[in-house]
Structures are given as C-alpha cells and as structure tokens.
C-alpha cells in the first residue's frame, strides 16, 4: 500500500433504501497520487457510495474524512466546490450546447468581457484544455449532440479535469472509447496522479484496471471485501472476490438449429455513412458485427430499425419487403433494438421499471384502446422480472435507481414483452459486470434457441467471437469480411477491421 497522505477516508458507511441494505459498513481509503480501482458486480454498492461522496445521498451511518476534515456534501455542486468531481458512466452532457458550453457550464462568469460572456475566450480556454489533456479531433464549438459516444465521453473527462479537483471519480470511462482514446485517458490519469490527485477508477474491464491502478478495492452485495495491490492479485482471484464464486464458461454457446432466413438487407446505403451493405440473419442464428469505433456498425442498425433514414436499398422480414419509416413501424414488423446508449435511448429513468417494460407494447395492455389493464401489465412485469432475475424493490421503483446491469435487463424485458422475431443488440454488455455479462450471454443463447434471429454489435472482440455463429467485419461503412464460427481468428478479424487485410 502507498504511504502517501490519506486524502479520502470513508469508514463504516451504511445506506438503506426502503428497508433494503444497499451498503453495510463499507470502507474506502484513497491517498494522494493514488489510482484506486473500485470493482464489484452491478448492485454491489459502488454507485451508492459514489453518490454519497457527491452529496446525492446521505449515509445512514458511518463517517467520511476528506483532506483531514469531516466531510459531507449537500449536493454535487458543493462536492465540486470542496474538491470532488465525477465522470459518470451515463453521459450527462446537454446535446444542444457546444463542447465549450458543456465544459464550462455554471462558470460563465470566468469569460465575461464588458459584462457579456465572451465566446471567443471560452472557445480558446476549451482548446487549451483539450490540448493539455492530449484530446484530439474534438471541435470546441461543435454541438455535443453531433459527437460520437466516444467523443462525448472524452468531453466528460475534460469537464471533470477542468475543475482541478483533488479527487476525480471515473465511472466506466472507457466503456465507449477506442484503444487510442483509452491510451489518451490513461496518460491523463497518470499525469493527474503525478499532480497528487486521487483517482477512483470504476470499471468492469479487469485488464485495464490491472494496468492503470495502484490498488483494487472489492465490494460484493453491499459489503466491503478487501483491498489489494494491483500487482499482487490475478484477474481470476478478483472475479472470485467480486461474485463469491468462480465464473466458468463465460460464453456458453449452444448448438442451435439454424434454418430459415428471418431478415435480409440488400444494398443498403446512407450517403456518407455506409454503402453496399448486404447480409442475412437466420432463425436460431446469432450474427455478430465487429469493427473499429466509427466504422458504421451502429449507423447501419439504426437505419434498419427506422431511427435514421436509408438513402437506398431494401430490407426484408420473412421474405417480404418492408419499410421502417420509424421505430414504431420496425416494432410492428417484428423487430426490436437494444441501443448502446441506455441513458438517452434505452430507459425513461424517472419512471417505474414496470412502465419501462411495457411502454414499447402498450397496445398489448390496452384491450379497449384507451385504458391500460394494470393487472395484465403487472403480471407481465413480474414474469419478466423473474425470467431475467431483475433485482428491484418493486414494480414502482424508478428505473434510474437500478444498477447498470439491472437497467440493461429492464431494457431486454421491454423488448421481450413483444416477442419480436429479430433482436438487434448494440453493445448489450457495455458497462456491466462479469456476472451480469454471463447472464446476458445465457439469455442471448436462449433467444436463439427459441428461434429468434439475433444481431450483436460489440466493440469487445472476445465477446462477439464467444457468442456468435457468424461475424461480419465493418470498415468505413462497408462489410469487408464474413467469417463462420469454425474459422474465427482474432488476429485475422482485427486485420480486416484495420484494413491490413482485404
């Protein structure tokens, strides 16, 4: 363990929600210049403790000392003023504001000139900040809503660093960024540590944690398990500490009969984004799509599902030509899509988990076309909650209060309520723990076994190789390679993605 000054000391922290123990006497110690990884399954209590540090929740027991003084923030604004900043897993940027406006929001007075806000000064300060952090390719004047998820994640990083806080909490900061951007982030983290900042790094990517952290603290089921130097523990030991058991056969691929074509795409085109895209998905098949970030994987599927428009080509369900002018038509045509962005496109966070599971197919619960059959809706929710093992306090709990893994299960429940024939899963395990990942993989396998056609888009090549029957590699908006499961080879797939093979 480091012998540097203790910066943050949380001891015996306990928190209840509706009589349920979310944290049970947990502890966390962070020193100056330390990168402390905090890991645990979704629902282990990590986010609850972070929200206590930010002043979003008040602990029911325990004490926190920050820079040698008793600490408790009333809200995130006070936490920032006292020196604790957080990069959230779910993006919090305002899409209609520019990069510069998002980074300096609430601090506009810093750029006043003759009583007016000088946008020139704000843009210059943003440009300097991004350059100092080594973040390239982001225009300070660009609207955040026009940026990729990866670029928005880096803007979140820049905003947190702009406060010059003593403690920076990073919640899944690498979940949506490329390897190059991860290198940039790690360079930023190391520079912050050299400046004697304390970093709390929350991630489910254990290989990254081992590389960037000094020590690793493990939570399980709301309890503190232990803290170990990163160099003295293996990933296998960490997984066992996290889940309390060995996780074996992470990708439980079953042999499932693959038969009729359910979906076919012919010559799909979206000007400047993708072109000449042709593929089929069969009953019982899991078709994987891989490629570098920005290759066009998500854009193709969003156009297929009616989120954006196609400029050319045809799509077919069960051999019949269809047109998805919008997502409602796609749903009526037997399709569903789990999007990569849970916050903006997956859930309505302030509404109940029950409503979130029924919203896509409300017609199933409105027999007279006007009033919802609440009994039928409640029965459907409980069936889905049991089937997917969703951990909730009850059907009326707000979806935003759930852990990332349970939020993802609610999104699956929403779509499975309608029994679609084709499921498009875009980054279905982004930001969730290894135990929840195993459950999601089993669910995907069961869907294929039930005769569904499944498309999986993933940035994690081991994941897409582990669960797919066939893989399409996307590069610059084109399918450049197709590979059957028996021929999967990670090096070859990556070579096609990078363009060193064609």
Domains and CATH numbers, the chain: 6-243 (3.40.50.300), 260-334+420-502 (3.40.50.300), 351-419 (no CATH)
| H or E element in which residue 478 lies | strand 478-484
Measured between its terminal Cα atoms, the distance across the chain in Å is 49
- The whole-number pLDDT of residue 33 equals 96
pLDDT of residue 221: 82
Smallest Cα–Cα separation from 37: which of 169, 202, 183? 202
Q: What is the pLDDT of residue 248?
A: 60
3-state helix, strand, coil in the chain (%, to 5): 40, 25, 35
**What pLDDT, on the 0 to 100 scale, is given for residue 1?**
41
DSSP code of residue 136 = -
* Cα gap 121→132, rounded to integer Å: 16
Backbone phi, psi, residue 154, to 5°: -70, -30
| Residue ranges of the chain with per-residue pLDDT less than 50 | 1-2
Predicted confidence at residue 247, as pLDDT, reads 58
Residue among 429, 453, 451, 448 at smallest CA distance from 440:
429
By the 8 A CB rule, do 134 and 124 touch?
Answer: no
Please tell me the predicted confidence (pLDDT) of residue 2.
Answer: 44
pLDDT tens-digit readout, 75-95: 999 999 999 999 887 778 899
Sign of CA dihedral 237, 340, 42, 230: positive
Number of H helices, E strands in the chain: 16, 22
In total, the chain counts a number of residues equal to 502
| Helix H or strand E segment including 264 | strand 261-270
**Consecutive H or E run containing 324:** none
C-alpha pair distances (Å), 457 with each of 148, 299, 472: 16, 11, 10
């Amino acid at each position: 363990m480091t012998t540097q000054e203790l910066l943050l000391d949380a001891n015996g922290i306990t928190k209840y929600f509706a009589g349920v123990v979310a944290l049970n006497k947990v502890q966390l110690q962070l020193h100056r210049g330390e990168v402390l990884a905090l890991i645990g399954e979704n629902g282990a209590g990590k986010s609850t403790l972070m929200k206590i540090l930010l002043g979003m929740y008040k602990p029911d027991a325990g004490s926190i000392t920050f820079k040698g003084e008793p600490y408790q923030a009333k809200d995130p604004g006070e936490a920032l003023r006292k020196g604790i900043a957080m990069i959230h897993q779910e993006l919090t940027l305002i899409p209609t504001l520019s990069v510069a406006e998002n980074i300096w929001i609430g601090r506009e007075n810093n750029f006043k000139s003759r009583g007016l806000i000088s946008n020139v000064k704000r843009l210059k300060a943003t440009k300097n900040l991004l350059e100092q952090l080594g973040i390239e390719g982001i225009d300070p004047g660009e609207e955040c809503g026009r940026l990729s998820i990866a670029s928005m994640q880096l803007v979140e990083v820049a905003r947190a660093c702009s406060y010059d806080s003593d403690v920076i909490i990073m919640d899944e900061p690498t979940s949506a960024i490329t390897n190059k951007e991860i290198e940039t982030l790690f360079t930023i983290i190391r520079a912050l540590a050299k400046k004697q900042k304390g970093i709390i790094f929350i991630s489910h990517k254990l290989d990254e944690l081992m590389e960037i952290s000094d020590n690793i603290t493990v939570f399980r089921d709301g309890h503190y398990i232990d803290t170990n130097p990163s160099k003295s523990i293996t990933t296998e030991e960490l997984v066992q500490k996290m889940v309390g058991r060995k996780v074996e056969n992470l990708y439980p691929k079953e042999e499932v009969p693959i038969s009729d074509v359910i979906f076919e795409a012919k010559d799909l085109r979206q000007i400047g984004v993708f072109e000449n895209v042709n593929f089929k998905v069969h009953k019982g098949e899991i078709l994987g799509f891989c490629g570098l970030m920005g290759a066009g994987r998500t854009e193709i599927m969003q156009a297929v599902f009616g989120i954006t428009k196609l400029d050319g080509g045809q799509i077919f369900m069960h051999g019949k030509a269809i047109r998805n002018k919008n997502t409602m038509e796609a749903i009526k045509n037997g399709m569903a899509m789990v999007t990569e962005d849970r916050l903006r496109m997956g859930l309505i966070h302030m509404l109940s988990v029950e409503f979130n599971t029924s919203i896509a197919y409300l017609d199933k619960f409105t027999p007279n076309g006007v009033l919802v059959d609440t009994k039928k809706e409640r029965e459907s929710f409980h069936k889905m909650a049991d089937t997917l093992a969703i951990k909730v306090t009850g059907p009326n709990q707000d979806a935003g209060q759930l852990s990332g893994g349970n939020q993802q299960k609610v999104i699956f429940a929403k779509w499975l309520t309608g029994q679609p024939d084709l499921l498009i899963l875009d980054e279905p395990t982004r930001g969730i723990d290894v135990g929840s990942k195993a459950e999601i993989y089993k669910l995907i396998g069961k869907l294929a076994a039930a005769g569904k056609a499944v498309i999986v888009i993933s940035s994690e090549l081991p994941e897409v190789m582990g669960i797919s029957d066939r893989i399409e590699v996307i590069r610059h908006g084109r399918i450049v390679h197709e590979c059957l499961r028996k021929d999967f080879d990670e090096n070859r797939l990556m070579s096609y993605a990078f363009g060193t093979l064609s």
